[in-house]
Amino acid sequence: MSAVRSLAGLLAVLALWEGSTRVGLVDARFVPPPSVVLVRVAELLGSEAFLRDVIATVLAWAIALGIAVAIAVPAGLVLGSVRAVRIATRALVELLRPIPSVALIPLVILLVGGGPEAKITLAVYASIWPILYNTVYGLDEIDPLLTETARACGTPRLHIATSVALPCAAPFMVTGVRLSAAIALIVVVSTEFLAGASRGIGSAILQASSGAGRMDLVLAATFVAGAIGFAINEGLERLARRAFPWSTVASAA
């Protein structure tokens, strides 16, 4: 039902956009109406070259998100469980976390080159933080009574971590993955555009905006990127609701 309401809002915005260009409130040369943009979307989706760009972007996104999960979840479990490590690394984490990924483009290109490795590296960097913080926060939210009861029953520390801590923190981790999924897609497309990648949606947008400045193609490719992000978020939200039906955390973000 929320997806239907979201689509209703989208349709309202598209209608307002179409009307604004038709009556001249918005210059159609710079912002073509959605009736034109959606036709271009259909044309792009029938283009083999653009589909290769979409595959390149989605593949880079998936690899980056997988690496970010593999790094951030164990790191979050350590930071959330061992107070001394959390305090010792707080300054480093707070120093690195606010750095925009796009500011690191020159450094990353210098270190790993301008191929797909650059956008994957930058997307991993940007995606780590929401997963890391949500994992730590999830561990902080565990009811101490649960862990104390397990200890009083003689449950080994490792078993407490797997049977009490992980199930309680898992909905928070999934919320972090949802947030990071959107961030990773933004960074991948932005890097493709700013670094001039040979393949990807960002590269298609860059080519369309160069020369004749085909804003209809720019907006059409941008719309496809937005639709991919919408589909990813809806998929992860449905997965979280099915995996953790008792929790309101995963669906609240």
| Cα 127 off chain centre by | 7
| Cα→Cα distances 181→85, 124, 133, 170, 177, Å | 27, 10, 15, 16, 6
Nearest to 74 by CA among 128, 122, 121: 128
Which residues, including other chains, have CB under 8 Å from residue 95's CB and lie 6 or more apart? Answer: none
Report DSSP letters for 211-240, one per residue. TT--HHHHHHHHHHHHHHHHHHHHHHHHHH
Q: What whole-number distance in Å separates Cα of residue 69 and Cα of residue 34?
A: 37
How large is the average pLDDT for residues 239-251?
A: 75
* Residue 4 binned pLDDT confidence (cut-offs 50, 70, 90): low
Query: Who wins on pLDDT, 2 or 38?
Result: 38
Per-residue pLDDT tens over the stretch 73-100: 999 989 988 889 999 999 999 999 999 9
Mean of pLDDT over the chain: 88
**pLDDT > 60? residue 16:** yes
> What pLDDT score does 29 carry?
83
Q: Mark residue 197 as left, alpha or beta (left: phi above 0; alpha: psi -120 to 50; beta: remaining).
A: beta
**pLDDT > 90? residue 219:** yes
* Residue 64 binned pLDDT confidence (cut-offs 50, 70, 90): very high
| Cα→Cα distances 201→58, 150, 192, Å | 9, 50, 7
User: Are 76 and 131 within 8 A, CB to CB?
Assistant: yes
Lowest-pLDDT range, 126-135, 211-220, 228-237? Answer: 211-220
**pLDDT > 90? residue 242:** no
**pLDDT > 70? residue 252:** no
**pLDDT > 80? residue 24:** yes
User: Are 147 and 160 within 8 A, CB to CB?
Assistant: yes
Residue reference for tokens 């941008």: 222
Q: What whole-number distance in Å separates Cα of residue 172 and Cα of residue 136?
A: 9
